[in-house]
Amino acid sequence: MPAKPFIDLSTIDFDNLIVDRDGIYALNPHRHEFMLLDGIVHMSPEKKVIVGYRDVKEDEFWIRGHIPGRPLFPGVLMIEAAAQLVSYFALRLQDRTDFLGFAGVTDVKFRGTVTVGDRLVMLGKMLELRDRRCVGDTQGYVNGQQVYQGRIIGMWL
């Protein structure tokens, strides 16, 4: 059974972009094909919750090879998008500029598919922010249905 969303998605105004792509990647070092977030629409430092999204387009680099004729957004890219979301949030909450590297992932479950034309809504909830590492639970939704969940672990390098 899917975990309950960290926040009621019906309360999020997806027309109210609070951080655009340029703002995300002013902190996150990813570039080119690995800029996997398109925007952030909610941040609550008090509740340690963040909401962002990725609009899956028909010209993505993985389309040709990840199930020709039926392209599916790869699960590993869902994990990467989730890691970028909690990484951005950790950098903002800690007001740090050093590199937050990927240190692990646990409890991942894929519950549905993400295809061309979908908006993958990513939720993050920070569980731990320490000097050496941070941990965040993450969830992904398409059309209100959970398609992904997992715990992301990062280490400051």
Give me the pLDDT at residue 97, please.
79
User: Which pTM does this prediction carry?
Assistant: 0.95
Residue spans of beta strands (DSSP E) within the chain: 19-20, 39-44, 49-55, 100-110, 119-129, 133-142, 145-156
42 is catalytic: no
Residue extents of the structural domains in the chain? 9-156
> What is the end-to-end Cα distance of the chain in Å, rounded?
36
Q: Which residue stretches of the chain have pLDDT < 50?
A: none
Residue with tokens 């970028």: 84
28-66 residues labelled b (16+ CB within 10 A) or e (exposed): beeeeeebbbbbbbbbeeeebbbbbbbebeeebeebeee
What is the chain's alpha carbon radius of gyration, rounded to the nearest angstrom?
15
| Dist. CA 73–CA 33, nearest whole Å | 13
Active-site entry in 30, 32, 42, 66:
66
CATH architecture of 9-156: Roll (3.10)
Q: What are phi and psi of 93, to 5 degrees?
A: -65, -35
